[in-house]
Structure 1
Amino acid sequence: MKKFNEKQILNIIISKFGNNNMEPYIGKDDISIMPLDSLNSSSNEFNDNKFLAITCDMLVEHTDVPPKMTFEQIARKSVVSSVSDLVSKGIMPKAALISLGLPKSLKNSEISRLINGLSLASKEFGIDIVGGDINESKEIIIDCCMFGSLSSVANIPRRNGACIGDYVVVSGIFGYSSSGLKILMNNLSCPDSYFRRRSVDSVLIPSPSYEFGIYIARYFSSSMDSSDGLASSLHELSKQSGVNLLIEEDKIPIPPRLKEFLSINNLDFHDLVFYGGEEYNIVGTISEKNLVEVSEILKVRHLKLYIIGKVVSGIGRVFVLTSNGNKKLLKNKGYAHFT
């Protein structure tokens, strides 16, 4: 029998342990939201004034740590993943629990550098690390459980809210992180030193779309981050919303010299732009009315929003209009554990 993949395992967990009373706020998303107050006994409804947003992400050395990543950068990456999940919903991270699995072979200086990396990340993102656990393991494992608070769930975009006529938008450039990983793994040739440096930095020092998420995400009808790949994120929004997405390949923001990099190394455009993952950009859908409303915020905050397509009627598929005018079904492919 074929083994379950990561998403299938998660779905089984949700079906077994999901609280039906919390259905609007918990489920197939990277975050869970629960009320801090008890249920209103008379109406059996949540008091809509105090909620806790929770997410967790586990970094495992052999799958998540590329060559040349320092101990400080390893620790920071473990925090970035959870920060990205929260801010993609417009929720400001507040605190975290960090659990460490450490091999006996680690030197004291290396352990100190990991802890220093966590300290620097907590200051960078304004997060209090309030506890956790430490255990022995065969490799470095860091589990980050992060919390944010909110007064209402009304404006939290889930994955199932995309509506026909909405625009499909992203917060940043796609292609640097996939290029950087290939450069680190295989020492590939680059068009210039800037492309190499920017690509490698995007892997070793990833940046979540923090400000974009905090100020813009609440205007979205649906959203998630792109840590598993642009294609995977698009398919997830499309499937859960029960609509099709029509993406224009030429409108996807890519590095200026990416096509030169592809040509030099005989690489495929879709593999790097759609299927790579770990950009930590935000992928979302937004109505035309809200797009007009956020334009001033984008201007004041010096933020960029890229329109890459539209939401159309359908049954949960993603199509791409290529540069030569062909319409193709986009493969639902990206990074997933156990595949």
Structure 2
Amino acid sequence: MSFLLRRLGFYLLAFWASITLNFLLPRLMPGDPVTRMLSRSQQRLEPQQVESLRTLMGVDGGPIIPEYFGYLGRILTGDFGMSISRFPTPVSEVIASQLPWTLLLGLTALIFAVILGNLLGILAAWRRGGFLDSVAPPLLVFIGSFPYFWLAMGALYIFGINMGIAPMRHAFSVGLVPGFNLEFILDVAAHLVLPALTIVLISLGGWMLGMRNTMIATNSEDYILMAEAKGLRPQRIMLNYAARNAMLPSVTSMGMSIGFIVGGALLTEVVFAYPGVGYQLLGAVQGLDYPLMQGMFLTITAAVLIANFLVDLVYVRLDPRVRKG
């Protein structure tokens, strides 16, 4: 319990630091967001309208301490302000409409990458020096060296443009009414294949190498030798003894890799015009929509911190020794 309380305190401190940074960035930049936004859009507004925009964005030049506590209060109540590019829609509504698609893409890619990567690592280590152990690691590491967006553009060009067997954009077909029915679910799954596949291919090599190296070290432990001496079946030793103990570092790596998966999903969304947080973030940057950018930054930060805390809960469950810390 003390371990979880310490970790919870760390995550709360990290979230407070991200909120503070989010508050300070627009105020530390030269000029102010409203002036930059108006100069880029070449719109002419009355002075009263400009001041209203500054007040709306919280950069009206008032005392910074009261502004900061007011900002904290709004964040804790879920009030991120109004979106400039989609005015008068609140930022929270914009994020709520895009976040499920990013979670669907990121979690699907993460689950497949973890399962396939760990399984390949277990098999490669158990039959060390075999065909799988000799071919798969260098091949997957080579594929993983490519940037997310480069592999996504390559997959889009080959399977979408040349072969025409995969949807090229969006999360579902144009004209299809969203609903919880088989037609819509299958269409969403078809649009999900290419974006998720690019993220899985990039991260698969790391998962496989991590599990392979841990399994090799685990295979030399005394309890593995004891299990072999007892005459237990190789499959039972591999899964129940070696793989179960080798999974602990992978659980920790899962928490750390969530941030990379989210980052990869953001870039992949832009390539495939996938209507998630990443694609919306690009529009916010192009439109200088500072409230929306700030809200998305905090949302992504909170999602990564919450996911890491959940991983810590799983780790405590898998390794009882941590509970004594």
**TM-score strictly above 0.5:** no
Q: Which has the higher strand share?
A: 1
| TM range, smaller chain | under 0.3
Q: TM-score, normalised by structure 1?
A: 0.26
Higher helix share: 2
Larger radius of gyration: 2
Higher RCO (Cα < 8 Å, 6 or more apart):
2
TM-score normalised by the chain length of structure 2: 0.27
